Chains A and B, each alone.
Chain A
């Protein structure tokens, strides 16, 4: 079964540094998402992306965050100047276009640790 793949599995970064998290969604999918989960807390929606633009974003997704689909396969999340509170698991997900109730397929996440 096709999978969403995320790299790296663990990223350690100094506070204030930029970080880019990478995702390869399932190849025929057209909707892409980023979520985060702080240790022991809920899975939180960050942003959805369709047709090369952001379609929804949450309050968490402020000016420090950006997303990009630089080519036909990758989907990236950039955090410009990381803060300690950005430490979390970051999950990428994708869905095909099809019916509007399509559930998301999630990757296994990148654990981001800010020092």
Chain B
């Protein structure tokens, strides 16, 4: 099982950049790294996915070092609506979903 470790919580202020790091020391060669966002009483929402180096989309960037044993989700200029739980998953999500577990996630609180 691809185990991940993230900080339990983080605080930030509106307009700041937030970086959330996830450790995944036992990542396998074929595994991808995927980040989800979850608001209360809603299902997880896909944010970004990567395999190595850097990936950027319209909402976030994902930095993956060469050894792939960690990854960092970067949220530029957060707003109050970015307050949510952020999950890092490692694995092959559609063919081995059972081995890509949601951990405790990081609760991000954005303050005005």
Query: Chain B residues with Cβ under 8 A from A100's Cβ?
Result: 92, 94-95
Known: A43-B87, A45-B97, A101-B49. A109 touches B42 (CB 8 A): yes
- Chain B interface residues (CB < 8 Å from chain A): 32, 34, 36, 38, 41-46, 49, 51, 87, 92-98, 100-105
Q: Does A66 contact B (CB under 8 A)?
A: no
Q: Is the interface of B mostly helix, strand, loop or mixed?
A: loop
Summed over the interface, the residue pairs from A and B with CB atoms below 8 Å come to a total of 72
A106 near B43 with CB under 8 A, answer: yes
A102 near B93 with CB under 8 A, answer: yes
Chain A interface residue count, CB cutoff 8 Å, equals 29
CB distance from A94 to the nearest CB of B (A): 9
A104 near B93 with CB under 8 A, answer: yes
B43 near A91 with CB under 8 A, answer: yes
CB distance from B21 to the nearest CB of A (A): 19
Known: A42-B104, A106-B45, A107-B43. A31 touches B94 (CB 8 A): yes
- Chain A interface residues (CB < 8 Å from chain B): 4, 31, 33, 35, 42-45, 48, 55-58, 89, 91, 93, 95, 97, 100-109, 111
A104 near B94 with CB under 8 A, answer: yes
Query: Chain B residues with Cβ under 8 A from A57's Cβ?
Result: 98
Query: Chain B residues with Cβ under 8 A from A107's Cβ?
Result: 43
Q: Is the interface of A mostly helix, strand, loop or mixed?
A: strand
Query: Chain B residues with Cβ under 8 A from A101's Cβ?
Result: 32, 34, 49, 51, 92-94
Q: Pick the residue among B41, B49, B97 that contacts A33 (CB under 8 A).
A: B97
B92 near A91 with CB under 8 A, answer: no
* Bound CA span A104–B51, Å: 16
B102 near A42 with CB under 8 A, answer: yes
With A45-B101, A106-B44 given, can you name 20 additional A-B contacts, CB distance below 8 Å?
A: A42-B103, A42-B105, A43-B38, A43-B44, A43-B87, A45-B97, A45-B102, A48-B94, A48-B97, A56-B96, A56-B98, A58-B98, A91-B43, A101-B94, A103-B36, A103-B46, A104-B46, A106-B45, A108-B41, A109-B43
